[in-house]
Structure 1
């Protein structure tokens, strides 16, 4: 029987290890506690977080105990990794709201019953630290010279790196130490963009506690051209159905590039690898069958089987010219809004994020109302558009919305 590490490697999750041989021995001989951190910078997780959730789920299925660490404390500082400018500072109220929302989402993917997993918030220890004690007990283990060579700081030095953000690495490193002491946590998992911060945590635990500590980074979700996946015309691909409807979520995966199907099946579903390889090897029009499996399986994991079936049925009906519109994402407007420009309506109902986006869509010939292309950016939604009280909007090739009048 293959070890969980072999399975993770086969599915393409792991990018780097701090201690590969030690990690292999540890996972083969013990059931360990490990953690992944999530900073609550928004009130929903997005698809970039989903790959980390799947990483955790595979480890949990193999008998290891995950700690989902929500960064209520670190979010007050902001992670400079991968950012060219300082992040917008969140209020305590924003962070508390985001933490509560993210907790609910995590419970869909990770089993927290009977101590099988732990949900922790680093605000519980970071917000109560004595600054001088922290410098003496933790700061002494960090070399500023070495920190400045870290990739997460390098790209910010030219534009300016605040002292606030410079502390982020120490805080994340201290998280690992705290979890090691409290839960005997021996491993951190995280995105490959967190490598420098993760090394800092491993070294802090080994130096300060003389404990076992190691880290593995997870592949970032990129397409065959190396670009990050999970972005739509409307912004990020969220796991919250209020931000990205189950139908739009399904359609995103249904429309991925042929070259990305096998990778996404391996990383974002529990489909067995033999079947992943079979589906990934399909060619021509047959690859669409693999895309349907991909879209259905991911939507089922994120939104449940019922929503996945609805999205699948809606897509099938629309593309086959069927009449069942019941499962197409629907927004409502008032009678008073009839006659307003369509881009105003689409922006106010969150079909699109802005009017600017709507104008660009029309200029590119990518918007239709009831099958008729919109060519004028000032085009209004009129009574004659509202067949039986509703209008069908199509964005691009395959994204549909229905507008109904209350």
Structure 2
């Protein structure tokens, strides 16, 4: 028996090591002198749309940096990952990548030189993109202006710097292969865009302890960069239910009159969607509306807010907010901006999105179509001012009071620091 164990244990270890090598090792792919796909105007234009639908510029452009040159810090629970340069620079970008290398990165999360990519790059969704769309995206990116800029080193603890360990994560979450629309229907086009290029569930599905999307919680809501991403399975049963036309308006120009304006991580998404064919925006809305709807969950509280805080919040609102958000303000009457009492941020289960909007504001639009703007008040209002004004606006919605607004203001100021 003992002798059998002495033989079996090394054999199991050897088998485990062999399996690990098989799953973790990927060969390097030879560089190419020039793009190995036909480059023509129609394919490049199609690629522009594919890249916009995939939000590639959002992650691969740092503030103040060149488009697609990378360097954006992505803060994760495990450390900071800096996005890579995807311009056609041969030394620091993807200029030497073949189409096959690009396709492998999209489908399997593997770089040209064979190292595994961190799943901050949503290859578990991009793997579903069709060959034609991958080829178009490759053609578009290879016609961008090369930028010689190397991404900073990732700031991760030592175990996570060992990239081969990502093979185990891939075994759990990666299901490689294209998943094109099953037919020509609008809902199938929307499903394809939402699940593949849009990678919407990356934000709108809760994540598990190792950063993978929780099974059985598809579109059940998540949290990204300090903001709450709402459950898409509850939009139709929200306190103010969403309609198809409202989702189209929100995605296409960043504002729905009955719900408010896009902010935080959703802001650049809608700016990109404003540059794609309206038919694609409608298809996305159609698919989202087709999702099985569950009853909106609400954290029931018995919180009571000191009336003195509400009065103070109202005074802050009158001094800082009423010029734009008052019932008779020109922005409300002439530009048809929604009342804050209708805003989804103030109807949420937590005050996070309302507070984050006050702290960060809504950035000046960078692309045509999006017309909303709000200056940040993070450096203007004290924690007490902010908590009181947010709770005052919440009190005008008819929803139950939030129990933890002051504490959330304090924690969010730290989370949202650059």
TM-score computed with the length of structure 1 as normaliser: 0.27
Higher RCO structure, 1 or 2 (CA under 8 Å, sep 6+):
1
TM-score computed with the length of structure 2 as normaliser: 0.26
Higher helix proportion (structure 1 or 2): 1
Higher strand proportion (structure 1 or 2): 1
